[in-house]
Structure 1
Amino acid sequence: MKTLLIAVITVFLFPVFANAQFTISGSVSEKTTHNSLAGASISLKGAGKNTNSSAGGKYQLKNIKAGKYTLTVSFIGYETQQKTIEISGDQQIDFSLVSSAYLADEVIVMATRATEKSGTTYKNLSKSEVTANNFGQDLPFIINNTPGVVVTSDAGGGVGYTGIRIRGSDATRVNVTVNGIPLNDSESQGVFWVNMPDFASSVESIQIQRGVGTSTNGAGAFGGSLNVQTSAPGLEPYAELNNTYGSFNTLKNTVKIGTGLIDDKFSFDGRLSRIQSDGFVDRGASLLKSYFLSGAYHGKTDLLRINVFSGSEKTYQSWNGVPESRLRGDVQGMNDYIIRNGLNETDAANLLNSDSRKYNSFLYKDQNDNYWQDHYQVLYAKQFNDKFSFNGALHYTYGRGYYEEFKPGQAFSDYGLANPVINGAPVTTTDLIRRRWLNNNFYGTTYSFNYKAQSNLTFTLGGAYNQYRGKHFGQVTWSQVSSTLNNSDHYYDGDGNKNDFNVYAKATYSPVEKLSLFADLQYRRFTYAITGQDDNRKPVDIHDNRNFFNPKIGATYFVDPKSNIYASFSVANKEGNRDDYINAIAGALPVPERLYNVEAGYRIKGTDYSAGINVYGMFYKDQLVITGQITDVGGNIRQNVPDSYRAGVEFDGSYTLSRHFLINANAALSRNKIKTFIEHLPNSDTKTDDLITYQNTNISFSPDAVLFGELVYKPFTSFAIALQSKYVSKQYMDNTQNENRKLNGYWVNNLRLGYDFSFKGVKNMNIGLLANNILNKKYESNGYTYGYTSGGNRTTENFYFPQAGTNFLLSLNVKF
């Protein structure tokens, strides 16, 4: 039996080893000084192999089959070189790079990005990786296959309102910057990717830092950071037409144009996009429009870039989710739900007769969310000499929009209105349509000075000052019973003003060749004022200012040119969001959260493989977690808990089996606990909250396991098939670790195909197919729960967001 097994394995593996395989090696140096260049990127097109030059500028690519290839070497600040080579035996190929005639765009984000010497945990996504997964879904779905990431979609198909969690931390704890400029909303602290449709089409690269990461601009990261660099110019003029069509009438149209470099100094690039989708859930439609314009001056030692980009969205609300009784097809449960919640005849029929996974409680035809957001960036970089450089930016974001909703049986008094008198009798309630508006301005400056004192010592001094001015107000645009309120009048007005200042200093020092030490010290101060009225017309007058010190230290030891080990310790502090302040007990302010983050890992990279394993501990003091209480519009109320933690291990690896097969895989295994949690359960009998204490419970929405695997098959150079598989273990929807209030674990498989070809007049044409959830798994990736006691009995309301079954997106991208 053993002999037979060996024979079978040999037969299957024979084609992989049948052909002779060779090695390419060499060195990379600077042409004028002949100094070696460490960290240069070397790739062999057609073989799927890449590596980086060692500390001595050496590189090696192994297991190359005989044939014709293109060998490319690139390094920031130097012109990229390509050589077409014919391999029939081992070869040594050396490169001497020439200083670039212009400053590369990468310098814009260097100050806020982690490197191997930072001692932190990160993942880089290149433009080609982003493009391969860009079928029009929001950016969270494009980075879904990175370690520890879980994504969700309100409408179920990845278009419209989407969410992301990293290591179980939601979007309010994920710091996002675009070209080093903070993107998170200053008050809610989240990022709403629906306001930036098709932004992935204007992305050059993304770095995902897990944990605290390095100092950056904006609020502190408590789960991760997304550092986005927008597109660099093409060297030659280009035009692109990118189109996608698929399930749920999803349609994406994108036009991109660029001048290339004009006189080696100027470039202009533009993009215009439209995305629309009916959504998987009923009435989960979205209409999204955006544009991106960029112009730049490229000097040999300086770079000036101006970016203007904008997005608008009109999205039918589907954020209420599906009640558990509807999802399970429980008729008696649905009838009980109708009685408990006082549903009228129309809403009751909608609940009882809808598809169990596509149910949407909203029926009003204009139950839409509407928002417009404009971004203006002026970026400048200057290389004074080979030791000293500067990056700076001015930015301004203008956002405005509203969500419209039909509200039955509203009391006039809740809107500050006198009860109208009809036929001599006062009328106290009415059906009405209201709009809740947000109008905000965000502007400021970011900067960094970079100094290379000597070959083994570098310093960075950077920071930012930003101001946010937000206006919150509401309007009643229609009332069944006429009132004294005009359509343009505001029934509440509130302001949120925030000033945010930070400065950081970073240093990297290598006392010996193999050891690199890293230190990063940040001071941050903010002032925040909430005045006027909240959306319930409650007067608010809240003022807070805080000073935070966020130190970070790390070390990396380079075992050899291919591998290193690292460790770091970081401290981060973070204030609550607007709702935390408004919902706090009168006279009290939410206590800031503090996080102590330990990271340690091992990285290795060869010609055919790369891998990294990381262990981490995230220990919180006064973390804000949901209590079980909700606001009148379904928002979660949060409270500080004294002690909680996340601890886990992460793996990320890639292995080229042969010229035709590639495996990518990552895994995140974790334990996420609150030592003592007190649930607040409203009791309608006593008109108070019942307080229930739990010990050592799981943190909500924190799966113990997130696993991903991908098998890529390339039968020939221009065609690839990728089978992707992702598993997310169960998640609890509150912090009580109750099995009746959870999301079940799910395993989802996708298939992606891409075929590139060209012909006269067309540089490249790509046909792509993304088949999502090919096994038609029925699963829910998000939800919420709340409960109360009435008549001595506890009632729990669970709601879920089902994701689409098998669905398809077909793309056609043409480059001229």
Structure 2
Amino acid sequence: MKRGILFSVLIGSLGITFGQQQEKDTTTAKEIVLDEVLVSSVRVTKESPVTFSNITKAELAPRNLGQDIPILLNFLPSVVTTSDAGAGVGYTGIRVRGSDATRVNVTINGIPYNDSESHGTFWVNLPDFASSTEDLQLQRGVGTSTNGAGAFGASLNLLTDAVSEEGYAQLATSYGSFNTMRNNVKFSTGLLNDAFEFSGRLSRIISDGYIDRASSALDSYFLQGAFRDENTLVKALLFGGHEITYQAYFGIDAETLVTNRRFNPAGQFTDENGETRFYENEVDNYKQDHAQLHWNQNLGQGWNSSIAFHYTRGRGYFEQYREDDDFDTYGYDPITVNGELITETDLVRRRWLDNDFYGTVFSINKDFDRAKLILGGGYNLYEGDHFGEVIWARFAPEADIRDRYYDDNSRKTDFNIFAKLNYKWNEKWSLYGDLQLRSVRYEANGNETGLVDDTFNFFNPKAGIVYDLDVNNNFYFSWAVANREPNRNDYENGNPRPERLNDLELGWRLITPDVQINTNLFYMRYKDQLVLTGELNDVGAPLRANVGDSYRLGLEIDAALKLGKRFKWQPNLAVSTNKNIDFVFQRDGILEELGNTNIAYSPGLIIGNRIAYEPSPEFTLALLTKYVGKQYMGNIDAEVSVLDAYSQTDFNISYEIQPRHLVKRIVLSALVNNIFDAKYVSNGYFFTFDDDFSNPGTTTTIEGAGFYPQAGINALLGVQLQF
């Protein structure tokens, strides 16, 4: 069965998404043009020498039944996704070209979304955000200059809901496996007095998770007020979420993967009677609220400007039951109980984050006869507190509830300016230039980081050419440089250096009404790349280390093909080699030269495929398949660190009914994930340690690994009513 699935995917895998813009969309061209001004400074078109894919709200809708945005993007080229809870709800992750989420620059309406310290993107803090997304663009490679941390694998920018011309009310609900339920309500007033619109959404998602106790309770909201006339667009947005998820980042070992793949060791402890139990509140509990104010102005004579102000407030904790922790960790002095000296205790602790992120981004555009110029930049400030509380302890000498056993703070400023120029040299040739200056200062005083006060000044040039062979064929070549600062976890793991990337892209695009193909070659050469080591820190965050020289070399092909009037075929293929150059590793106390090794979490083959059958404009059936080749979770090519190749196939149905009275639209959706019930693992971790105590005088390097199994066959059913 597995060979049959893989063969069918390979036959169809030449490309996905470049031509998806032909899917039906209910928004008008006028709405989209006005709202796209918000992201014009960070997005590209086929006139730019950048590799990208666009996805619209209409394309997301059939599968948007409560799963996170990374899972909805799973079938794009070079993309690999995973879910801690195993079913796409809760903590989810995305990698592009082998680069993890800390290297994928994410913006929402041009505002940076990556966490300033970890560089991560935590979609669990914005549940059901796809329901308020108008469209998104994924740029692979360095891409164009944007706001926030530099892109080392991809850039993902989201545009939130466009201004709606007509008022509506919408109710949606979905239910499925593992008691997963999503309910939301949306509304819009439509344009009032041809100028004002107010809209919003409330959502709640709950799930037990595929993994034992990996539950999620997620609430979110989205509110928008807009003013629009011929020359002005002003938008005020408030959105955010509150997540409570039972922790599932521990993973399981290879033996447990065979005997009990749904086992979750989080919260496990032994009670006073020697019984194994699980702490019921081993959870993350975090709130995040965002405020954005955008003002876009047409200044006349080809000039227009955009300025935005933003503020993000985040606060929350994760709670843990800890057995036999040393007093020293919490600053406790030893005590004597019944004549026995006590130096350790069972306890429950909370580790808090309390942070503020605010700033401004801006741009001014000028359209000339043969050129388009964009000048822009941004200034952002992050202030974060990290502290820990003990809320219960079996033995707690001279301690009060919620005493802080550590109290750290950090501050980061990020300033950038850029200039972009698209110049139409003649009817065939176009030139592209993009220059960015970025200055970052990071200060921290954490126990794990030590004292940090570093300033980084980066120059990130980009240049390219585009050749239009004819109205259908387009070729491009680009060279781009990206520099990137270390994140907080890098400082905790040692003395990191900033990393540098040179990215070369060579592509061909074919666009006709029935056939659209995008093909590109890429070569990404890194200096001091901070690659994932495979290890996790004590809160489940991946650790990285500088590796000197490394590279990624690959071919990507994606396509959208109409096969007659009712079939659409969207395949994609990514083949790559990803290497650390002259890698060294200390094994058994001896430094070894391993030569070129595979970069962690970088499969050499990724295939996606979507075949859709549309017997009518209202009825669509789609089969979606993903194949991810063998990958290593570390950088030393250890067999223990191997993640086996896997394939996953989903089946999606969408049917729209248009009643004559009361209800405008009824949309019925069904999504059956992993229809062949593959027992696969999409993520894990790898670690080594030196054992110099079992046999004194001898050092032996021990290897170990953990795995995150994904759910077998599971389903979600949904209904949407629009009034």
Instruction: Report the TM-score when normalising by structure 1.
Output: 0.82
Query: Would the aligned equivalents of 2:206 and 2:216 in 1 still touch at CA under 8 Å?
Result: yes
Between 120-129 and 322-331, report the one with greater CA deviation: 322-331
- C-alpha contact (below 8 Å) 2:535/2:686 kept by paired residues: no
Q: Residue in 2 aligned with 1:512? A: 426
Please give the secondary structure, in 1, of the residue aligned with 2:61. helix
Amino acid at match of 1:639: A
Match of 2:612 in 1: 712
1:773 corresponds to which of 633, 650, 674: 674
Contact 1:725 1:748 in 2 (8 A): yes
Equivalent position amino acid for 1:804 in 2: A
Label 1:556 to 1:181 Cα distance change in 2 as closer, same or farther (>3 A). same
1:551 to 435, 457, 461: 461
For the 8 Å contact 2:27–2:164, the answer to whether it is kept is no
**Alpha-carbon deviation of 1:781?**
0.2
Does the 8 Å CA contact 2:303/2:364 hold for their aligned counterparts? yes
Within 2, Cα distance between the matches of 1:206 and 1:692? 45
The CA distance in 2 between the partners of 1:79 and 1:805, in whole Å, is: 41
**Is residue 589 of structure 2 the alignment partner of residue 679 of structure 1?**
no
C-alpha change, 1:711 and 1:347, in structure 2 (3 Å) is farther
Shift of 1:264: 1.1
Aligned partners of 1:628 and 1:787 also within 8 Å: no
Q: Distance in 1 between matches of 2:715 and 2:330?
A: 46
CA contact (8 A) 1:784 1:800 kept: yes
Q: How far apart are the structure 1 equivalents of 2:536 and 2:227? A: 51
The aligned residue for residue 732 of structure 1 is 632
* Whole-angstrom distance in 1 between the partners of 2:634 and 2:464: 35
Measure how far apart 1:628 and its partner are: 6.2
Paired amino acid for 2:404: H
Secondary structure of the corresponding residue to residue 448 of structure 1: strand
Q: Which residue of 1 aligns with 2:97?
A: 167
Partner of 2:40: 110
- Counterpart of 2:603 in structure 1 is 703
CA distance in 2, matches of 1:73, 1:286: 33
1: CA distance, partners of 2:179 / 2:624: 24
Distance 1:233 1:347 in 2: 62
Corresponding residue number in structure 2 for 1:226: 156
Question: CA separation in 1, counterparts of 2:481 and 2:273?
Answer: 50
Match of 1:18 in 2: none
Match of 2:379 in 1: 465
State whether structure 2 residue 220 is matched by structure 1 residue 290.
yes
String of CA shifts for 1:63-118, please: whole Å, max 9, x gaps. xxxxxxx999975xx589xxxxxxxxxxxxxxxxxxxxxx7111111111011122
3-state SS of 2:255 partner: helix
Question: Does the 8 A contact of 2:348 with 2:393 survive in 1?
Answer: yes
SS of alignment partner, residue 149 of structure 2: coil
Single out whichever of 461-470 and 793-802 deviates more from structure 2: 793-802
- Which whole-Å CA distance do the structure 2 matches of 1:237 and 1:494 have between them? 48
Equivalence map 1:296-445=2 (5 Å): 296-329=226-259, 363-445=278-360
SS of equivalent to 1:112: coil
Q: SS of the counterpart of 1:432?
A: strand
Higher RCO by CA contacts (8 Å cutoff, separation 6 or greater): 2
Partners of 1:700 and 1:190 in 2: CA distance: 18
Corresponding residue for 2:3?
A: none
> Judging changes above 3 Å, is the alpha-carbon distance between structure 1 residues 573 and 79 closer, same or farther for their aligned structure 2 residues?
closer
Aligned residues: 694
Unmatched tracts of structure 1, length 5 or more: 1-42, 52-69, 81-102, 351-361, 684-688
Q: CA deviation at 1:762?
A: 1.3
Superimposed CA distance per residue, residues 507-547 of structure 1 (whole angstroms, 9 cap, x where no aligned partner):
1111101211100000000111011434xxxx821110010
Structure 1, residues 334-385: CA drift from partner, whole Å, max 9, x if none? Answer: 9xxx9xxx985999987xxxxxxxxxxx921000001000000000000011
Give the residue type in structure 2 aligned to 1:527: R
Distance 2:628 2:273 in 1: 34
Separation in 2, partners of 1:809, 1:347: 42
**Of 447, 456, 462, which residue of structure 2 is paired with 1:533?**
447
Q: Whole-Å Cα distance in 1 between the matches of residues 434 and 667 of structure 2?
A: 43
Q: Distance in 1 between matches of 2:541 and 2:621?
A: 42
- Note closer, same or farther for the CA distance 1:608–1:346 as it changes in structure 2 (3 Å cut): farther
**Which whole-Å CA distance do the structure 1 matches of 2:21 and 2:430 have between them?**
27
Contact 1:176 1:183 survives alignment (8 Å) = yes
Q: 1:207 aligns with which of 137, 151, 155?
A: 137
Shift in alpha-carbon separation, 1:348–1:669, aligned structure 2, 3 A? farther
Structure 1 residue 397 displacement after superposition = 0.1
Comparing 603-612 with 175-184, greater Cα deviation is found at 603-612
Question: Structure 1: how far apart are the matches of 2:31 and 2:140?
Answer: 32
Q: Does the 8 A contact of 1:629 with 1:680 survive in 2?
A: no
Q: 1:403 to 1:72 in 2, by over 3 A?
A: closer
How is 1:114-193 mapped onto 2 (pairs within 5 angstroms)? 114-193=44-123
Distance 2:171 2:517 in 1: 36
Give, in angstroms, the shift of residue 771 of structure 1: 0.2
Native 8 Å contact 1:627 1:679 kept in 2? no
Tell me if the contact between 1:627 and 1:680 (Cα under 8 Å) persists in the aligned partners: no
**2 CA distance for matches of 1:601 and 1:567?**
6
Q: Which residue of 1 aligns with 2:370?
A: 456
C-alpha RMSD of matched pairs (Å): 2.4
Provide the rounded CA distance (Å) in 2 between the counterparts of 1:240 and 1:679: 57
**In structure 1, distance between residues paired with 2:584 and 2:186:** 53
- What's 2:665 paired with? 764
- Quick one: distance in 2 between partners of 1:815 and 1:169? 39
CA contact (8 A) 2:612 2:623 kept: yes
Q: Is the 8 A contact 2:534 2:633 kept in 1?
A: no
Q: Map of 1:264-279 to 2, 5 A cutoff?
A: 264-279=194-209
Partner of 1:38: none
Cα deviation, residue 659, structure 1: 1.3
3-state DSSP of counterpart to 1:197: coil
Deviation at 1:148, TM superposition (A): 0.5
- The CA deviation at 1:741 is 1.5
Q: Is the 8 A contact 1:324 1:797 kept in 2?
A: no
Q: Deviations over 1:679-721 (max 9, x none)?
A: 356x7xxxxx654432111101101111011111112221111
- Structure number with larger C-alpha Rg: 1
The residue that corresponds to 2:14 in the other structure is none
Q: Distance in 2 between matches of 1:531 and 1:403?
A: 21
Question: TM-score normalised to the size of structure 2?
Answer: 0.92
The letter for the 2-side match of 1:505 is A
Deviation string 1:544-598 (CA, Å, 9 cap, x unpaired) is: 00100000001111111112001100000001110111221xxxx4111000000
Match of 1:197 among 89, 104, 127: 127
Structure 2 gaps, min length 5: 1-18
Find out whether 1:601 has 2:507 as its counterpart: yes
Kindly report which structure 2 residues correspond to 1:782-801, keeping only aligned pairs within 5 A, or say none: 782-790=683-691, 791=695, 793-801=700-708
Q: Which runs of 4+ in 1 moved over 6 A?
A: 70-74, 345-350
Which stretch of the first structure deviates more once superposed, 557-566 or 311-320?
557-566
- Determine the structure 1 residue equivalent to 2:5: none
> How far off is 1:638 after superposition?
2.7
Equivalent position of 2:15 in the other structure: none
Query: Are the counterparts in 2 of residues 117 and 555 from structure 1 also a CA contact under 8 Å?
Result: no
Q: 2:220 & 2:21 partners in 1: Cα distance?
A: 36
**Counterparts of 1:528 and 1:260 in 2: how far apart (Å)?**
44
Letter in 2 for 1:718: E
In structure 2, the residue matched to 1:694 is 594
